[in-house]
Amino acid sequence: MASRVLYLAVVALWLVPCCYAESSASLVAISAPLPFSKLTSTFGIRQHPVSKVIHHHNGIDLAAPVGTPIRAIRGGVVTFSNQYKGYGKLVVIMHADGKTSHYAHCNELFVLVGERVLRGEIIGSVGESGVATGAHLHLEIRDGGNPVNPIEYLRER
């Protein structure tokens, strides 16, 4: 039951085209990364679906068809856009407050390192590159390099 409630909460977040996050003294606009998706894995301790090792999952997984456009949740500067280990094709965006958003397992990458992107701009497409069991977006938010639950980050701020 709790997982169903969490799923419905996440769906509600993704259906809202924009919400606002409080950042120190100002409000920061945040957009949903996908037009539609299904939450398939939450932030926290879990058994990895491929390796079967129990460890911390640093983001959330949102299943969607291959090719679904991925949008930047906030504006910033692209600091990484390439293949990276188990993440497959990965985009990392540094935001003005120092936080980073990470978009992994992409099929295609549409941005280059150093490029400034706007909130809602298409930065890639959903895929299953890297270590993945199917097409999905792995979304991470990091604050000072430390993973933050994307759901909490999007909901509370």
Can you tell me the mean pLDDT for 90-97? 97
pTM value > 0.85: no
CATH number assigned to the domain comprising residue 119: 2.70.70.10
Distance CA 107, CA 110 (A): 10
Residue 127 DSSP code = B
Which residue range is the domain that position 13 belongs to? 2-156
User: How far apart, in Å, do the first and last CA atoms of the chain sit?
Assistant: 25
For 18-62, how does the pLDDT look when each residue is reduced to its tens digit (9 = 90+)? Answer: 333 333 333 345 568 888 788 887 887 877 777 777 887 889 989
For 110-155, how does the pLDDT look when each residue is reduced to its tens digit (9 = 90+)? Answer: 999 999 999 999 999 999 999 888 999 999 999 999 999 988 766 6
Count of domains forming the chain? 1
